[in-house]
Structure 1
Amino acid sequence: MTDMSRGAAYLNGEFMPLAEARIPVTHWGYRRSDVTYDVVGVRDGAFFRLEDHLRRFRASMTRLRMAPPESDDRIRAILHRVVALSGLRDAYVAMDCLRASPAPGAPRHPAYAPSYLMCYAVPWVWVASPEMIDRGMHLMIPKVRRIPPESFDPRVKNFHWGDLTEGQFEALDAGADFAVLLDGAGNVTEGPGFNVFCVIGGVVATPATGALDGITRASVMELCAELGLPLELRDIPAEEFRAADEIFGCTTAGGIMPAARIDGRRMNNDAPGPVSTALKDLFWKKRATGWHATPVDYAAAG
């Protein structure tokens, strides 16, 4: 049997080792970043909020007028099988929908370029390392601004990372771990691959617009309600964010990630704050008890 422990993939109707998955360089998924995607995590042999990720993925495909032949039920089965084929108990599981290219003689228009799926499972990936999470992330606000929602809807997960990539280089030059980008009005949006929250006077706040409607972000909202923490969805100006009592990020590949510094300012004696820590600890405690879990069907490998 083929060893897929380093990654198993499904590409345009076929299962294979991830190393064998290839897309043509002429396809618009590559040439134009004409792709939408989603990522669901597997920990201890179970997906977290699988149905939420599938709903968001389908909404993104619909928004971009992508219609691969696979139904949601088929996509769900494919995700189970790529994890089962890999044998991984902790996995980062991606689902991509890519635009191909028009057939010879067809108009050079996306309506004539069919879309297709690529799904894969690889060993668990952290956005911020566990060591970084324990000591608190070091964040900074770069000069580059986030692509405006009027240009592309940030609620559709996409590969348009030019602004986020530039922000990361600014963070590197500043000695920070990650950048958090502002919108054109100077309000906080998100980081590269994660939503952000801040805590001011015991009130938790997160941007209402300009960022992905994260699945882990929704989990944080549920945890705030469980802990009785006031929560606001609103614009957060840069100066208010910099002056916050606490800041944390959240993402599928990392859970809740407290920050210790923002633009060189040290919070909570250069350590994660109490609210961020309480949310992080509760998140992983509930995950360990099967919260929003869907066990992987490992028999699907057969």
Structure 2
Amino acid sequence: MSRIVYVNGEWMPEADAKISVFDRGFQFADSIYEITAVLGGKLIDYHGHAQRLSRSLTALGIPVPVSEEHMLALHRQAIARNGVEEGLVYLQVSRGVQDRDFMFGADLSPTFVIFTQSKKVLDNPKWKTGISVITMPDGRWVNRQIKTVQLLYSSLAKMEAAKAGADDAIFIEDGFITEASSSNVHIVTREGTLITRQLSNALLHGITRGSILDLARQAGVPVEERRFTLDEARNAAEIFITSATAFVMPVVRLDGEPVGEGVPGPVSGRFLQLYIQDRIATAI
């Protein structure tokens, strides 16, 4: 069945959805995106994604295309029109269309797209087995807190990981872990402290990351937000990554060596269950 997608104020079959070749999102990656998970036909952590969208657009000087209320209504319409019970809602806003030039005008109209993906986000089989990751130098631009579509380096990193027989890549900069190719990285020390890198322009300000830290503090788990080294990760009891699509994913091998006992640990498993229970209860 063809999906119904939203393009610049109109709903249409995906085969009819067209974007200009002169769109700056296509030519310059001058574009912002967000992905929100859907469970039971409801949006998970939606308000965090909506707020980050506004922050990212403001950082690039792109107008927010619709009001907060209309944005939520469009997400719900996308879910309803496509009958999505479980999956994702993807939105993208570019600066708009003009003849190709590095300089851009002040009067551009943003290009605004929403589409859905029906797919399983619960019962991920890798939650039980964990994933293997390799490390790579972080070769992305410096403003990673802005959720742009500049994802080429992350895409190539995932391909390199696959070639090495791993599931993902973790980026290293100046001896410290920044994040994974499309997710935030956390470690749990052998003393039970949760450590994650503090917010800065070195990493995306993950919505799931923030939710997990809130849940950890509510559960009485010690939390430190600071930089941590690759050696700290190698010596950790657990490593896990968080994202809107993977929720809480345990890492069991790092550069071919086992993490902790080499199996998903109890802390990441606890956070996964807490996150699912809390976010299903608060879905909208």
Q: What TM-score results when the alignment is normalised by the length of structure 2?
A: 0.91
Of 131, 139, 147, which aligns to 1:137?
A: 131
Counterpart CA distance in 2 for 1:188 and 1:133 is 22
Q: Give CA deviations for 1:242-284 in whole Å, capped at 9, x if unaligned.
A: 2211000111112111111111111343210111111112222
Contact conserved, 2:96 with 2:108, CA < 8 A, in 1? yes
Of 73, 89, 93, which aligns to 1:97?
A: 93
Matching residue of 1:298: none
Amino acid at match of 1:181: F
Query: What does residue range 111-190 of structure 1 map to in structure 2 within 5 Å?
Result: 111-124=106-119, 130-142=124-136, 144-149=137-142, 153-183=143-173, 185-190=174-179
Contact conserved, 1:267 with 1:273, CA < 8 A, in 2? no
Segments of 5+ residues of structure 2 without an aligned counterpart are none
Q: Give CA deviations for 1:169-215 in whole Å, capped at 9, x if unaligned.
A: 321232111001112x1211111221110011211011113111111
Query: What does residue range 215-230 of structure 1 map to in structure 2 within 5 Å?
Result: 215-230=207-222
Counterpart CA distance in 1 for 2:2 and 2:222 is 43
Matching residue of 1:206: 196
Matching residue of 2:25: 29
Return the offset for 1:27: 1.1
Matching residue of 1:15: 11
Counterpart CA distance in 2 for 1:280 and 1:129 is 11
Mean CA deviation greater in 256-265 or 18-27: 18-27
Contact conserved, 2:33 with 2:91, CA < 8 A, in 1? yes
Counterpart CA distance in 1 for 2:194 and 2:61 is 36
Contact conserved, 1:194 with 1:251, CA < 8 A, in 2? yes
Q: Which secondary structure state, in structure 2, belongs to the residue aligned with residue 120 of structure 1?
A: strand
Q: Which secondary structure state, in structure 2, belongs to the residue aligned with residue 111 of structure 1?
A: coil
Matching residue of 1:195: 184
Counterpart CA distance in 2 for 1:96 and 1:125 is 22
Matching residue of 2:71: 75
Q: Which secondary structure state, in structure 1, belongs to the residue aligned with residue 55 of structure 2?
A: helix
Q: Which secondary structure state, in structure 1, belongs to the residue aligned with residue 172 of structure 2?
A: coil
Amino acid at match of 2:131: M
Contact conserved, 1:68 with 1:114, CA < 8 A, in 2? no
- The CA RMSD measured in Å over matched residues stands at 2.2
Counterpart CA distance in 2 for 1:237 and 1:261 is 16
Matching residue of 2:272: 280
Contact conserved, 1:102 with 1:114, CA < 8 A, in 2? no
Contact conserved, 2:188 with 2:238, CA < 8 A, in 1? yes
Matching residue of 2:252: 260
Counterpart CA distance in 1 for 2:266 and 2:180 is 22
Return the offset for 1:133: 2.1
Counterpart CA distance in 2 for 1:82 and 1:63 is 27
Return the offset for 1:129: 8.3
Q: What TM-score results when the alignment is normalised by the length of structure 1?
A: 0.86
Counterpart CA distance in 2 for 1:168 and 1:187 is 19
Q: Which secondary structure state, in structure 2, belongs to the residue aligned with residue 182 of structure 1?
A: strand
Return the offset for 1:148: 4.6
Q: How many residues align structurally?
A: 281
Counterpart CA distance in 1 for 2:111 and 2:141 is 27
